[in-house]
Amino acid sequence: MHEDTIAAISTPIGEGGVGIVRLSGPEAIAIADGVFVSPKGSRLTDAPTHTIHYGHVVDDGRRIDEVLASVMRAPRTYTREDVVEIGCHGGIVATRAVLDAVLARGARLAERGEFTKRAYLNGRISLDQAQAVADVVCAQTRLGLEAAVDRLGGRFSSAIAALRDELAALLADLEVDIDFPDLDVVVDELLPRAEAIEARAADLLARAERGAVVREGLTVAIVGRPNVGKSTLLNALLAEERSIVTPVPGTTRDTVEEVVSIGGVPVRLIDTAGLRTPTDLIEAEGVRRTREATKKSDLVLLLVDRSKPLADEDRDLIRTEWGVPVLLVLNKSDLPAHVGDVPRGTSIDRIEISAKDGANLPALTGCLVELLLGGEIPSRNTILLLDTWERDLLRRLRDGVARSIAAMREGLTPDMVAEELRSAYVASGDLQGIDVSESILDAIFSRFCVGK
Ligand SMILES: Nc1nc2c(ncn2[C@@H]2O[C@H](COP(=O)(O)OP(=O)(O)OP(=O)(O)O)[C@@H](O)[C@H]2O)c(=O)[nH]1
Ligand SMILES: [Mg+2]
């Protein structure tokens, strides 16, 4: 248990219906009681666990806010410590003043994720579940949320625990073989078990790689000459008038970014300034930003206006090597076509749409699913949300088992096989959060906001 008591505002900063100041630690109830006055004179320190109390927070005898204080005594709390949540009216000033009052009484301002870190250190949740909490908070699509909630339920932890148990059993059987070389635990018996472990680790890894896409999302840049309908397409895909659309070429001067869910994957769409020889400084900067945007994209949607003859600038863009897959989009299919022959250039596919009336937009989304996700729409059962370092450990686990299998097939000695299995076993332990280094812990909890 921790010595000190931490406090923070647990709701988003800004005006809202309520603002919650959360305290956790041995002095949480006493500190809250020190700033709390109930109309009937009852004390939070006498309150039974999991009860809510009406009153005011006072500082220097002045009432700061009318509040509801929830008293939750250890161990059945988020952190397993004494916790008090003071529900204020919301708004920046009042909530902040309540926080200042408890800080003045001896609470320490919590660091990012410190409440959840305590929940982990006090054994209420596994590291895996702590990560899942961050994913729940950060989820950008329904699918991301579902996968995070699944993980919070501990599905990944139990899968790893099972693998670890089997690795331990396999190692134990091998030890017997090492100690009594003529006892001859046959490779025939161990090999299929190792193969089964490898198959399961490989499956988890494949799901984690799909999950990485759901978690980190993808980026798509919409580029083309001025006036071809880039902003109109962004708005159509978003189903809102986000970007300014006018018949004037050069309308969009800065990049505009929004996230849409495509097959449950958050896709950051970047509408860019039309590419042409800049006519002024602002436009030159816009064009530079367009080039930057394409560099950080996973795919480029290259738009051409098919109601106009193809311009030399279109041709240049079609010939450009963008370094990522390009989908050529012939826009304005609602108008008569005057574009003539459009060379394919570096694009891997092409499609005709009308951004204005939405014709063929579902097909465009289908193309994106095909090109970005290999045609496979992820579902909560086919993905796993893991951090990069966890994917790394999972890979190490699988590789260790794979090497042990190779060693068995080559007829190497049992202790050589065991050595490979041991590295897989160590990786499984790290994945369970046993002996995770402080730096990894810091990396995990820094993903949280203050107050979580
Ligand atoms: N008929 C028709 N008009 C369209 C279509 N898409 C866009 N437009 C029109 O084309 C004009 C330019 O559209 P924008 O979306 O502003 O074009 P842009 O590519 O963003 O242009 P810049 O920001 O200047 O680079 C507007 O008048 C749109 O209404 C379409 O599919 N059909
Ligand atoms: Mg535009």
Work out which ligand 1 atom sits closest to the CA atom of 274.
25
Whether the per-residue pLDDT at 430 is higher than 80: the answer is yes
For residues 5 and 276, which has the higher predicted lDDT (pLDDT)? Answer: 5
Q: How many CA atoms lie within 13 A of 334 on its CB side?
A: 9
pLDDT at 315 over 90: yes
**pLDDT tier for residue 80 given thresholds of 50, 70 and 90:** very high
Q: Check residue 183 and give its pLDDT.
A: 46
Residues flanking ligand 1, CB < 6 Å = 224, 226-232, 245-247, 249-252, 274, 331-332, 334-335, 354-356
Q: Which residues pair with 330 in a beta bridge?
A: 304, 352
pLDDT of 437 above 80: no
Is the per-residue pLDDT at 4 higher than 50? Answer: yes
Res. 142: pLDDT tops 90: no
Of the bound ligands, which one is closest to the alpha carbon of residue 246? 1
What percent of the chain stands above pLDDT 70?
95
Atom of ligand 1 nearest to the CA of 226: 25
Please name each of the domains of the chain with its CATH number. Answer: 6-110 (3.30.1360.120), 133-213+387-445 (1.20.120.430), 217-373 (3.40.50.300)
Question: How confident is the prediction for the chain on average, in pLDDT?
Answer: 88
Q: Quickly list H helices, 139-249.
A: 142-152, 155-179, 187-216, 230-238
Percent of the chain with pLDDT over 90: 52
Q: Give the pLDDT band of residue 184 (cuts 50, 70, 90).
A: low
| Residue pLDDT, tens place only, 220-279 | 999 999 999 999 999 999 988 889 999 998 899 889 999 998 888 889 999 999 988 878
The β-bridge partners of 19 are 88
Going by pLDDT thresholds of 50, 70 and 90, the confidence category of residue 329 is: very high
pLDDT of residue 414: 83
Please tell me the least confidently modeled range out of 21-30, 92-101, 121-130: 121-130
Residue identifier of the C-alpha nearest atom 30 of ligand 1:
332
Is pLDDT of 180 > 70?
A: no
> Which amino acid residue places its CA nearest to atom 2 of ligand 1?
332
Q: Starting from the CA of residue 274, give the closest ligand.
A: 1
Residue nearest atom 21 in ligand 1 by C-alpha distance: 227
pLDDT 10s digits, 384-425? 888 788 889 999 999 999 999 999 888 888 888 899 999 999
Ligand 1 atom 10: residue of nearest CA: 229
pLDDT at 436: 60
Q: Which long-range contacts (CB under 8 A, 24 or more apart) does 243-252 make?
A: 243/271, 249/225, 249/274, 249/276, 250/226, 250/274, 250/276, 250/279, 250/283, 251/226, 251/227, 252/286
Q: Distance, CA 251 to ligand 2 centroid (Å)?
A: 5
| Centre of ligand 2 from the C-alpha of residue 142, in Å | 29
Which pLDDT does position 139 carry in this prediction? Answer: 81
> Nearest 5°: phi and psi at 68?
-120, 120
What are the Cα distances from residue 269, in Å, to 202, 228, 256?
Answer: 32, 17, 8
- pLDDT over 90 (residue 91): no
What pLDDT does residue 128 have?
A: 79
The highest-confidence range among 71-75, 275-279, 294-298, 414-418, by mean pLDDT, is 71-75
Determine the residue of 223, 225, 227 to mutate for testing ligand 1's pocket, defined as the one with the most ligand atoms within 8 A of the Cβ atom: 227
Average pLDDT of 48-67?
A: 93
Average pLDDT of the residues in 117-127: 88
Amino acid symbol at 115: F
